[in-house]
C-alpha cells in the first residue's frame, strides 16, 4: 500500500532513476575526455492498481494533481517529493472495482527568494530602497502664448 498526497494506491513496482550529464571532449588518440559531471533530476516510474468504491475519485484527484503541476509526496517503498509528469490508466475486465495505472514522477527544486534582512550588512546597505529622490523641477501647465500668460509668473523666473 502506498500514498500519493494521501490517496491510497496499491503499487506493484517502483523504478527510481538517478542519472547524470557528462561533458565529453574529443581528443586525437584514445577515448573522449570527460571533464564535467552534473546530476539530472531524479525520476521514478510506478505502476499498480487503484481499487475500491472510491477508485474513480482517487484517479480524479491524481489527475488534478497532474494538471495543476502541484508538488506531491509519494510514500511507498521509496519516498519521493516532486511532480507527476505522466499518468496512464487501463480499464479492463480483469479489475472489476478499479483500474491499473502507471505514473512518472520527477524531482523539482523550488527556489526561495532572498529578503534584504537575510543578506550580509554590506550588501544589505547597497540594496536598500531609495527614499529621497532629490529636487524635482515642476512643469509649467498650459501653453506659452502671451495672452494666457499675462499676469502669471513663470516657473523659470
CATH number for the domain including 17? 2.40.30.200
For residue 114, is it within any domain? Answer: no
pTM for the full predicted model = 0.65
For residue 133, is it within any domain? Answer: no
CA distances from 112 to 80, 109, 115, 117 (A): 20, 9, 9, 14
For residue 43, is it within any domain? Answer: yes
Best CA proximity match to 48, nearest among 79, 88, 96: 88
For the chain, where are the E strands, in sequence order?
Answer: 2-4, 7-17, 20-25, 33-39, 43-51, 72-75, 79-90, 98-106
For residue 113, is it within any domain? Answer: no
For residue 9, is it within any domain? Answer: yes
| Average pLDDT rounded to a whole number, residues 139-144 | 66
What span, in angstroms and rounded, lies between the C-alpha atoms of 10 and 88? 15
Which grid coordinates are listed for 153? 509668473
Number of domains in the chain: 1
For residue 76, is it within any domain? Answer: yes
For residue 118, is it within any domain? Answer: no
For residue 71, is it within any domain? Answer: yes
Task: State residue 137's pLDDT score.
Answer: 74
User: Per residue in 72-126, pLDDT tens?
Assistant: 999 999 999 999 999 999 999 988 899 999 999 999 988 777 666 666 776 666 5
- The whole domain housing 12 covers 2-106
Amino acid at each position: 500500500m502506498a500514498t500519493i498526497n494521501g490517496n491510497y494506491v496499491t503499487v506493484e513496482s517502483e523504478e527510481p532513476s538517478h542519472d547524470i550529464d557528462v561533458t565529453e571532449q574529443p581528443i586525437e588518440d584514445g577515448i573522449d575526455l570527460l571533464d564535467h559531471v552534473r546530476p539530472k533530476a531524479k525520476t521514478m516510474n510506478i505502476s499498480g492498481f487503484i481499487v475500491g468504491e472510491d477508485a474513480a475519485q482517487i484517479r480524479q484527484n491524481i489527475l488534478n494533481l497532474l494538471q495543476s503541476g502541484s508538488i506531491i509526496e509519494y510514500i511507498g517503498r521509496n519516498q519521493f517529493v516532486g511532480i507527476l509528469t505522466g499518468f496512464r490508466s487501463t480499464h479492463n475486465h480483469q479489475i472489476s472495482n478499479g483500474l491499473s495505472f502507471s505514473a512518472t514522477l520527477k524531482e523539482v527544486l523550488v527556489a526561495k527568494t532572498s529578503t534584504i534582512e537575510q543578506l550580509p550588512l554590506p550588501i544589505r546597505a547597497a540594496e536598500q530602497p531609495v527614499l529621497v529622490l532629490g529636487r524635482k523641477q515642476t512643469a509649467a501647465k498650459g501653453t506659452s502664448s502671451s495672452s494666457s500668460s499675462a499676469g502669471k509668473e513663470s516657473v523659470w523666473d
